[in-house]
Amino acid sequence: MHQRAISEASDHVRLIAEKPYLRPYFYDGRAWQAGDHASRDELLAVAELMLNEFASSLMHAAAFPEYPVRGIDRIIMFHLRNGPTLRELLLDYFDRFPFTGLTLLIYKNDSPAGVRQDLVSLIERPGLDDTEVARRRELLEIFESSTATDPIDFTMITMRRRL
């Protein structure tokens, strides 16, 4: 199961190996700019694949204790902190990650204050329906009131609550 876990969380590496010009956007903190060799759509597609891989790994780790998350969590953290396109996509499509969004925010940030700030910003985004606003508020409440010490615990909590 350990090999499968690593494989599932790193399918994007093949794409980046095939297209090394994408590497700086996911490893070096480079933000896309008009005129870059990489297209914006190409970066968004790889970022979407990565976030989906990460979300799947987190859900497996929360549901199956034998699923090894150590090491994978460091990969997720590294890429979220060094990939502006990943961070942008996570925030823009936060509703696509109902069970893992909070955990991804924790890995994205280096402090609880950053997670709290992201959640408040996500709650205040225009154009959300009442259900999504309520879900995001509940995530903030979970984050602020929980005694959880491991980010995976937040995935377990949200999976149990079916937010």
Q: How crowded is residue 50: how many other Cβ atoms within 10 Å of its Cβ?
A: 27
Sign of the torsion formed by the C-alpha atoms of 31, 36, 41 and 45: negative
Q: How crowded is residue 75: how many other Cβ atoms within 10 Å of its Cβ?
A: 19
Q: Which of 101, 88, 87 is nearest to 136 (CA)?
A: 101
| Per-residue pLDDT tens digits for 117-154 | 999 999 999 999 999 999 999 999 999 999 998 999 99
The amino acid at residue 156 is: M
Task: Kindly tell me if the per-residue pLDDT of 16 is higher than 50.
Answer: yes
In whole angstroms, what separates CA 122 from the centre of its chain?
14
Is residue 148 within 8 Å of 157, Cβ to Cβ?
yes
Q: Model pTM?
A: 0.88
| Per-residue pLDDT tens digits for 43-98 | 999 999 999 999 988 988 888 877 777 678 888 999 999 999 999 999 999 999 99
